[in-house]
């Protein structure tokens, strides 16, 4: 659906990805009653920690909060490009 909207309005891939990320943050906020700023800060800190050990595709990174009846689970999909053999 995002592809269709992007083609209709001539959006670039970069702006499409930013719009998808903003929408994702709004949905996470609604599900877990967390501010979008807090979710974004969590995502940035995850990136900082993971990039010490791996080269990742930050544009493909997805962080979600999945809610069940009595619990919330943090899930992350992190595309790994390369593992750093000598962690800094």
Residue ranges covered by each domain of the chain: 2-83
**Would the pTM of this model clear 0.75, i.e. be above it?**
no
Residue 56 to residues 41, 71, 84, 85: CA-CA distances in angstroms? 18, 29, 10, 14
The stretches of the chain forming alpha helices (DSSP H) are 2-9, 13-32, 36-50
Q: How far apart are CA 32 and CA 47, in angstroms?
A: 21
Low-confidence ranges of the chain (pLDDT < 50): none
Per-residue model confidence (pLDDT) at position 81: 94
């Amino acid at each position: 659906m995002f592809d269709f909207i992007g083609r209709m309005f001539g959006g670039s891939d970069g702006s499409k990805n930013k719009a998808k990320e903003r929408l994702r943050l709004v949905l996470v906020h609604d599900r877990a009653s967390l501010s979008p700023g807090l979710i974004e800060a969590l995502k940035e800190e995850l990136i900082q920690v993971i990039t010490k050990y791996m080269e990742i595709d930050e544009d493909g990174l997805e962080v979600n909060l999945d809610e069940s009846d009595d619990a919330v689970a943090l899930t992350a999909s992190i595309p790994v490009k390369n593992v750093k053999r000598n962690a800094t």
